[in-house]
Each structure stands twice: as structure tokens, then as C-alpha cells.
Amino acid sequence: MSNKMVVNFTSWIKSAAGISITISILVAVFAAINSGPYLIVNTVVTGGMLALVATGLTLMLGVLNIAMFAHGEFFMIGSLTAYYVFTPISEFISENPESFVAVIGPLIAIVCAAIMGAISGVVAEKLVFGPLRKRSTDNWVMNSFLLTVGLSVLLVNLHQLIFGADFKGIVGYWSGMPISIADVFISRDRAMAFVISVVIVAMFWFFMTYTRTGMSIRAVSQDITGAQIVGIDIEKIVLLTISLACALSAVAGGSLLFMYPSYPTVGLEPLYLAWFVVILSGLGNILGAVAGAFMVALLKAITVEYIGAGWDFVIPSALIMLVLIFKPSGIFGSDVRGALDK
């Protein structure tokens, strides 16, 4: 038994996934020793949130076959909602700093962001994607892609029209002393952002792996006809997936409001980074997207640290070109052909 595990482990280490994860961990350790553990903290916080956006993107791609370029706008919707929910709450908190609202107030804002994200996802499906699905006879991928770009432009300008182009940000969610772990000070907001992303990714993973509904989402993404045959109601799964994906993106937007104030094009950066992750880790691979998110975050943190802040999109893009040349299915791409390869 243990022999078999050793064999499995060696073959994993030799696979593209094993090599890249091992290298990432080594690089992270080296960078932490070289320039301080705050680099790891940054990586972990950005990576966790990126994982949320990227899993949403992967889900849209895998289940609905939509190359979603409006996903950043759901991040924007999340941060906007969190801003407007949290502003009155923070006024209340500043008057009553000892009240329990100081603890759960931010959570309320983030939950509202998630709900708003889910609702806007459903609206987008009902108004945009659903009608297209009925009319589009062929070339679905291209048509839906163009539609998401249009949706993105529309939402960005709607934001500007209604709420203005200024930065709508907050000073912080949770006040109080930063948490110190072994001489590293982490602000409470960052720590909470990390905890939120870990909890959500774990819940999401459990949902997708073990529940009947989660399994049927995977089934639809792998073979839509097969899913119909076993009695899965495709319309229901599509609606659920789209609201889930948008909610994940909006949660990230809400939780990171203290880092990224809400403004019309706030969603662009997370959108690009999430696409880096999805291409890097292989289309439609959810667990791969989580690992890929931390890798891209690490790469970004290291680039900023050692090369310069202007390079943080150049290096990941260069890496993605290399991945596309040498392993087009992504580093976690499965040997089994998925629905999208057909």
C-alpha cells in the first residue's frame, strides 16, 4: 500500500502539476527568506480572492461554455454593494465602537455583496444569455463571448452614469490592532479576507464533490447530453451555475473593498488575473483554478518585489504564452478529454 503511494507520489511530482506546484512552493519559501514574510501574506490574500473569481470563471466556461469577459463587472457590483451597505454600518460603528455590529457589520456587507452578485447573475441569464441560447444556432462560443464584452461595457458605463467615476472606498472593515504572527503584522482586514476565501473555497469544493447538485453541475460540464439523459434539468443547473459564479466574483469584490475601492473599471484587474489563472490551470478545472490562483498571485507579488510594479502583468502574460506553446491544455489539464475539447 505504502509502496503504491510512493509510486503515485513520484508520478505526481513528475507531472506538470507536480513540477509547477513544487517550484512555486520553493520560490515562495526562498522569496520569504530573502525579502520578508509579508510577501507570502500578500500572495495568500490576493491568491485566495483570485481563487474565488477564477473558480467562477472556470464554472461559466465549463458548464455554460461562455468565455466570460464581464466577470470583473460582477466583482465591481460586489464592491459597490458592499460600499453602500457598509457606509451606514460604519457610521453606526463609529458612534458605538463597542457594539457587536463592529464584528458582524462587515460580514453583513459581504453577504449582501454575494446576494447582489447572485441576483445580477440571474438577471444577466434571463435578459442576455437565455435569449441568446434560444436564438444562437451555431458559433455559440463567439456569440456569447461578444455578448459578455458588450455586457461589460454596459455595466461599466451604467456604474459611471449612476454612481459617478470617483473612488468609493472605505478605510477598513475591522478596526483594531493588526494580528501578529512571528513578527509579521497582518491587518485584520487582510486576515479576514484570507479566512473568507478559504472558507468559501472549501465549502465550494465540498459542494462540487459530494452533493447531488454539485455533481450534476459537473455532469453538465462534462457531457450535456449525458446529463439530460440521466434526468438533470439543464435550465435549472444553468441558472444555478451562473448565479453561483457571479456570487463568487461579487464576494471577492466585497471582501477586498478595503484594498480596491469601487469605481467603474475596478473589475478589469481581477478579470485579467482570473483569465491568467484559467489559462494556466486548464479550462474548466476547478481544483486546478484554486492552485493556479495562488501561483499567479505569487508570480505577481514576486514581480512587483524584484522587477518593479509596472511589470506585474507582463511576466504572467509571458508565462501564459509559454504554457500555451508547450502545454496547451494547461498545467493541470487532464489527460481525459473534456466537453470543451470536442
Task: Give the separation between CA 18 and CA 85, rounded to whole angstroms.
Answer: 43
**Is residue 215 close enough to count as binding other proteins by CB under 8 A?**
yes
For other proteins, which residue of 171, 180, 231, 310 counts as binding (CB under 8 A)? 231
Interface region with other proteins, contact rule CB under 8 A, candidates 42-50, 90-98, 196-204, 216-224 = 216-224
Task: Give the separation between CA 167 and CA 263, rounded to whole angstroms.
Answer: 5
182: which residues sit within 8 A by CB, 6+ positions away? 37
**Is residue 334 close enough to count as binding other proteins by CB under 8 A?**
yes
Write the binding mask 152 to 191 for other proteins: x where contact by CB under 8 A, - elsewhere: ----------------------------------------
Q: Between 8 and 35, name the residue whose CB sits nearer to other proteins.
A: 8
Secondary structure letter of residue 178 according to DSSP: P
Smallest gap from Cβ 133 to other proteins, in A, equals: 14
**Is residue 14 close enough to count as binding other proteins by CB under 8 A?**
no
Q: Specify whether the CB–CB gap between 67 and 141 falls below 8 A.
A: yes
**Is residue 225 close enough to count as binding other proteins by CB under 8 A?**
yes
**Is residue 335 close enough to count as binding other proteins by CB under 8 A?**
yes
Q: Between 5 and 182, name the residue whose CB sits nearer to other proteins.
A: 5
Secondary structure letter of residue 177 according to DSSP: P
Interface region with other proteins, contact rule CB under 8 A, candidates 84-92, 158-166, 213-221, 275-283 = 213-221
For other proteins, which residue of 145, 223, 259, 268 counts as binding (CB under 8 A)? 223
323 alpha carbon, distance to own chain's centre: 20
**Is residue 234 close enough to count as binding other proteins by CB under 8 A?**
yes
For other proteins, which residue of 150, 164, 233, 321 counts as binding (CB under 8 A)? 233
Task: Give the separation between CA 176 and CA 258, rounded to whole angstroms.
Answer: 14
Task: Give the separation between CA 146 and CA 149, rounded to whole angstroms.
Answer: 5
For other proteins, which residue of 16, 119, 219, 287 counts as binding (CB under 8 A)? 219
Q: CA triplet 69, 45, 172: central angle to 5 degrees?
A: 95
For other proteins, which residue of 216, 241, 303, 329 counts as binding (CB under 8 A)? 216
Coil, strand or helix: which one is 319?
Answer: helix
Task: Give the separation between CA 170 and CA 231, rounded to whole angstroms.
Answer: 47
Catalogue the long-range contacts made by 306-314 (C-beta closer than 8 Å, 24 or more residues apart).
Answer: 306/35, 313/272
Task: Give the separation between CA 120 and CA 245, rounded to whole angstroms.
Answer: 11
Interface region with other proteins, contact rule CB under 8 A, candidates 1-9, 22-30, 182-190, 223-231 = 223-231
Q: How many residues bind other proteins (CB under 8 A)?
A: 22
Interface region with other proteins, contact rule CB under 8 A, candidates 68-76, 124-132, 153-161, 221-229 = 221-229
Q: CA triplet 61, 222, 47: central angle to 5 degrees?
A: 45
Q: Which residues bind other proteins (CB under 8 A)?
A: 212, 215-216, 218-219, 222-223, 225-234, 334-338
